Structure 1
């Protein structure tokens, strides 16, 4: 099982958007996927309550129970576990970081958001886990995105090559518990999510689809 934690010490940066979309991407790729929501606001869990499809499994719980949730997901045969965390919750975020194979830090390309990155990077350092910034809620066709990328990299952050832009498909999709990939499969938002998922899979050594996983193992 591979575990991806979505962590940011700042709210309003699109953590839950990234979390639910990666979880659905895992399901669409054929992986048994679980999504754990540790945020008391329960954005991901409420999204799951509205979702007609039974997968990914969405579990809302307290951070103190994260070790048991991780073990339960592994015992139930999960291939991929995505953890959504609360902002300004050092203990919960650190627990998620320690459980993760990969930490993604959503960040808007805005000054206050960029300044808040350091606290989350420190958590990743303590947990000794790889962490990458994902520029999110980014304006389309704006020079500020590349400026933010250069600034983050100059400050020592690793920045994912994919960007999650401000697109209405993300907002419309989550209304009834879907992802942009299900709402508008051929749209730009779906393309962004697919690219981010494929890249994240590469970081944790997971093929981008179950079929690719079988080929890697020499199975038919």
Structure 2
């Protein structure tokens, strides 16, 4: 499950790349888009199917469903998850806000992925820091929300939920800020129990991919495969490996 109550962290872009990455690796993959207003994930995959059909390309694509928030939304999500035995993985993208539906997804997740931009503005979602020393004062509301969900899941069925914080949009500049954010993440991770994994850098190519529904893994569809693509693809492969998903084999993305 991709979860973050702050917008602009690259959550939906990351979700699509994870879902398509799993499909490329041969896994039967489904995606559930819980943001029925923006429908970023659903639109991305619709563009992908249309572009592949137009160009007569084979583009591995997860199945996708959209669930609108409402009185019966949590029940619909539970039903879809319970009936998903035909899939190896289900990737759920939650909206950038708190809702009953987002909490229902959180309660069922085996792996929670929280992308954040590499700044203290985004870090504030999960932890508060001292303004002078940048030492962590306390976990923030979202970290406490995930802590409670993981504890409830462990009590209910013994599942140890893996929480991963992705450092998206790492900048090559502002090295001091990057180091401070990294130190704060390391300190907080020991207190609330998440793993830190490198995410996706800020690149123009991600905005260019959306209209065609392409990803870094679709080399056969990329007209100008550049060194920038190579670097970004390496980041994505490292991200996917860092998720530690069952039966993951990096060689399937060679």
TM-score scaled by length of structure 2: 0.73
Is 1:132 the counterpart of 2:164? The answer is: yes
Aligned to 1:216: none
Deviation at 1:84, TM superposition (A): 0.2
CA distance in 1, matches of 2:251, 2:200: 24
Q: Which of these residues, 36, 47, 51, is aligned with residue 50 of structure 1?
A: 47
Dislocated runs of 4+, deviation >6 Å: none
Secondary structure of the 2:183 match is helix
Extract unaligned runs of 5+ from structure 1: 212-220
Q: Which of these residues, 208, 215, 219, is aligned with residue 172 of structure 1?
A: 208
Deviation at 1:160, TM superposition (A): 2.4
Aligned to 1:67: 78
| More off after superposition, 158-167 vs 179-188 | 179-188
Conserved 8 A contact 1:39-1:84: yes
Instruction: Number of aligned residue pairs: give it.
Output: 204
Is 1:146 the counterpart of 2:168? The answer is: no
**Following superposition of structure 1 onto structure 2, how do residues 64-213 of structure 1 map, counting pairs within 5 Å?**
64=74, 65-74=76-85, 77-117=86-126, 118-128=140-150, 129-140=161-172, 142-143=174-175, 144-155=177-188, 156=191, 158-182=194-218, 183=222, 184=225, 187-200=230-243, 202=244, 204-208=245-249
Conserved 8 A contact 2:113-2:163: yes
TM-score scaled by length of structure 1: 0.83
Larger of the two Rg values belongs to structure: 2
Secondary structure of the 2:208 match is helix
CA distance in 1, matches of 2:196, 2:94: 19
Extract unaligned runs of 5+ from structure 2: 50-58, 127-139, 151-160
CA distance in 1, matches of 2:205, 2:183: 28
Which string of whole-angstrom CA distances, capped at 9 and with x for unpartnered residues, describes residues 46-75 of structure 1?
11111124621121113422111212322x
The CA RMSD measured in Å over matched residues stands at 2.3
